[in-house]
Amino acid sequence: MIGLISATAAGAAARDRLAAAWPDRTRVYEGPVGDAVRAAFAQCEQLVCFLATGAVVRLVAPLLAGKASDPGVVCVDEGGRFAVSLLGGHGGGANGLARAVAEVLGAEPVVTTATDAVGLSGLDTLGLPAEGDVAAVSRALLDGEAVALRAEVAWPLPPLPVTDEGRYTIRLTDRLTEPAEREVLLRPPTLVVGVGASKGAPVEEVLALVEGALREAGLSAASLAELATVDAKAGEQGIVEAARRLGVPLVTYGAGELARVEVPNPSDAPLGAVGTPSVAEAAALLGGGELLVPKRKSERADGRPAMATCAVVRRPGRGRLAVVGLGPGARDLLTPRAKAELRRASVLVGLDQYVDQIRDLLRPGTRVLESGLGAEEERARTAVAEARRGRAVALIGSGDAGVYAMASPALAEASDDIDVVGVPGVTAALAAGAILGAPLGHDHVSISLSDLHTPWEVIERRVRAAAEADIVVTFYNPRSRGRDWQLPKALAILAEHREPTTPVGVVRNASRADESSRLTTLAALDPATVDMMTVVTVGNTATREIAGRMVTPRGYRWQEEPQ
């Protein structure tokens, strides 16, 4: 919950805008400012104060307990020009909150934490437990000193400017070990413990079994991702309470699912009790991974039979591939989601000219794998291979990555061993349509005239179908030096079904600095003026030019013009 506090009418107006934008996340604190700040500080995870920074400093100073527990505090000035991360930039999330507030209010975010200020991923903000000298290693990263990354397990980290060797070290591990001097240990949640228990098994017995199994195997409980068991034990209090104390979720599976998992130590006892020959090993292995600790039983001091079993599996992090559409070229047509994915990726794969468009958005340490025209399949294979190594990868394309771009070859290459995320972008057809007016107001189709990968006979059949169906057509890849006859042929097919005066829009480099556009007709268009940077939109029989704009009606009759 985010507490909102203001003292003036201007502050209250900005406060109310934020409350309206985030109705489920915010709470307005009225009354005397001092009382409001103290109440919000005690009750909320974050605060946005529409007050002077000095006043907020004096109000919160007596309330501070420590960076691990204090809420994040953001201040917004009276004019609503700046959103300042004042307290808890990392731990309290104030840096991210300042950016989010600034986006809603149209303000400038002010982030003073050193790593955030230079776009560097903070070691204590990666969502992983961090042990060791975080401050010293972070300072080394900021100062450009050599910091080595030792990845003992695969995990999709964000970009970090690391090397193979260095005086400072970041170690990614789930092993039970202490950090060395000038070292930070990052603990990814790679471990899954499967648990079985008899009815009424005490939580102390379950907990001692799990913790002992991890400790004896040399594994850190800080890397524990979840406890897993059979559905029939979803309400077993010993297991439920053990998961709560360990701070991890309890995941349950049906007996049928578990029975299909091959395990080294099946047993008749659970088969008769819950319908599967294995609970602990099968529940741990169901999501894949390496069995580190086979089934073991709990031990009881009084010698009575064990009431719990467990098994431990290492499940390395899945690689992540984001297929990102960059839009037509203008920076303000690049979506916020696309920007976030570019900053998240530790590896960027793309066409060199597209990489140049967004290079300034990449965070320090991003590894860039760029190539020239005509290497689409190679880029797709490279991106998938990097994701399979457990990395966070962004594969970029212009417009929307799913429209004549990289999503198709990437998804054809990818299997279910990686996570794939699609990030839509503004297509060339949409960007050109907005420039021309509203040519896509009714049914429309996009057709590529490049016959490098598609036989011309197929392309011609599609053009003819669109012509006969009276659909607005946008031609991609209309003409190049080596392909100069396809566009005239396509226009001739359309001319068999449409009047010579049918409006045609021609847009080159839509949204870019050298953008150009013109509105002509089917009869007047000179194909020689078109190139590969151009999209050509041909209207249907209802499309009209109105006030210099190309407009296709939404299926309604045109009104008769006044006499």
Here the tokens at position 371 are: 């190539």
Are 473 and 445 contacting, i.e. CB atoms less than 8 angstroms apart? yes
Please report the sign of the dihedral spanned by the C-alpha atoms of residue 61, residue 67, residue 69, residue 75: positive
| pLDDT at residue 169 is higher than 70 | yes
Q: Name residue 15's amino acid.
A: R
- The set of residues, in sequence order, having a beta carbon less than 8 Å from that of 435 and lying 6+ positions away, is 505, 507, 510, 511, 515, 517
CA–CA dist 93, 98 (Å, integer)? 9
Task: Return the pLDDT at 562.
Answer: 43
Domains of the chain: 2-112 (3.40.50.11220), 123-186 (no CATH), 191-314 (3.30.420.180), 320-426 (3.40.1010.10), 429-551 (3.30.950.10)
Quick one: pLDDT band at residue 117, thresholds 50, 70, 90?
A: low
Quick one: pLDDT band at residue 559, thresholds 50, 70, 90?
A: very low
CA–CA dist 442, 544 (Å, integer)? 13
Here the tokens at position 479 are: 């003409």
Task: Indicate the pTM of the whole model.
Answer: 0.79
Question: Which strand ranges, in their side-by-side order, compose the sheet holding 544-546?
Answer: 437-438, 549-551, 544-546
If you average pLDDT over residues 213-234, what whole number do you get?
Answer: 96
| pLDDT at residue 119 is higher than 80 | no
- The DSSP H or E segment spanning 137 is helix 134-143
Quick one: pLDDT band at residue 387, thresholds 50, 70, 90?
A: very high
Task: Return the pLDDT at 272.
Answer: 83
Q: How far are the Cα atoms of 398, 404, 405 from residue 353, in angstroms, in the given order? A: 10, 17, 14
Are 506 and 525 contacting, i.e. CB atoms less than 8 angstroms apart? yes
Name the least confident of 141-155, 273-287, 295-309, 384-398: 295-309
Task: Return the pLDDT at 552.
Answer: 96
CA–CA dist 228, 298 (Å, integer)? 16
Backbone φ and ψ of 282, nearest 5°: -65, -40
| pLDDT at residue 561 is higher than 60 | no
| pLDDT at residue 463 is higher than 60 | yes
Task: Return the pLDDT at 270.
Answer: 85
Task: Return the pLDDT at 115.
Answer: 67
Which one, of 69, 44, 73, lies nearest residue 56 by Cα?
Answer: 73
Are 447 and 476 contacting, i.e. CB atoms less than 8 angstroms apart? yes
Helix (H, G, I), strand (E, B) or coil at 228: strand
CA 213 to chain centre: 35
If you average pLDDT over residues 312-316, what whole number do you get?
Answer: 93
- The percentage of the chain sitting over the pLDDT mark of 70, rounded to a whole number, equals 98
| pLDDT at residue 118 is higher than 70 | no
For the chain, the maximum distance between any two Cα atoms, rounded to a whole number of angstroms, is 104
Task: Return the pLDDT at 560.
Answer: 45
Quick one: pLDDT band at residue 420, thresholds 50, 70, 90?
A: very high
- The set of residues, in sequence order, having a beta carbon less than 8 Å from that of 439 and lying 6+ positions away, is 433, 472, 503, 505, 537, 539, 543, 550, 551, 552
DSSP string, 330-357: -GGGS-HHHHHHHHH-SEEEEEHHHHHH
Mind spelling out the 3-state secondary structure of 432-484?
HHHHHEECCCCCEEEEECCCCCCCHHHHHHHHHHHHHCCCEEEEECCCCCCCC
The rounded radius of gyration (Å) of the Cα atoms in the chain is 30
If you average pLDDT over residues 16-39, what whole number do you get?
Answer: 92
Here the tokens at position 446 are: 């996009």
DSSP string, 399-432: B-TTSSSSHHHHHHH--TTSEEEEE----HHHHH
Quick one: pLDDT band at residue 123, thresholds 50, 70, 90?
A: confident
Mind spelling out the 3-state secondary structure of 379-400?
HHHHHHHHHHCCCEEEEEECEC
Are 279 and 273 contacting, i.e. CB atoms less than 8 angstroms apart? no
The C-alpha angle with vertex 93 and arms to 87 and 95, in degrees rounded to 5, equals: 70
- The set of residues, in sequence order, having a beta carbon less than 8 Å from that of 500 and lying 6+ positions away, is 521, 522, 523
If you average pLDDT over residues 473-493, what whole number do you get?
Answer: 94
| pLDDT at residue 447 is higher than 90 | yes
Which one, of 413, 452, 127, 430, lies nearest residue 395 by Cα?
Answer: 413
What is the overall mean pLDDT for the chain? 92
Please report the sign of the dihedral spanned by the C-alpha atoms of residue 274, residue 277, residue 278, residue 283: negative
